[in-house]
Amino acid sequence: MSMEALALPTPEKVGHSGNMSYSWTVSAVLLVALVVVVSGQRRPAPSFPSRTELELALNNPSTVRKALICIRGYQCKLPYGQLLRQAGPELIMTGRCPFHVCKNRREQELAKWMILKIQEKYPELFYNAVNDLSRRG
């Protein structure tokens, strides 16, 4: 099959009455191609919060309460809820952030710093989370 046979018709070849049909067909093909490409892509993992974001969160007792709920595995709607559920239990129980979550030294250090600050500023909430995670095994 030649390349000319594979080429899409141009509006001139289709004629005036086919222009509308040609546009809709091309639009539909492009839309389907876009949907296929987008649906095949994975959602990017949320990035790690900055030190400033962590400091703001740590100064808000309500946010810390919600974060510890996320860490304990319950439903939450915090911006970094997924990260908290993935890293929090190991961070609290072992002091280490899983490598699939904290991908570099900076993130490891920020995660440890955050858990230590929660323990320091909100000891009752922190130890309630420790006890709950210990019971779950």
pLDDT in tens, 56-111: 999 999 999 999 999 999 988 898 899 999 999 999 999 999 999 999 999 999 99
- 85 closest CA partner among 57, 42, 46: 46
Give CA–CA dist 28/97, Å, rounded. 46
Report the chain's mean pLDDT, rounded to a whole number. Answer: 76
In eight-state DSSP terms, residue 35 is H
Question: Would you list the domain boundaries of the chain?
Answer: 3-40, 51-136
Helices (H), the chain: 3-6, 11-14, 19-40, 51-58, 61-71, 81-94, 105-121, 123-136
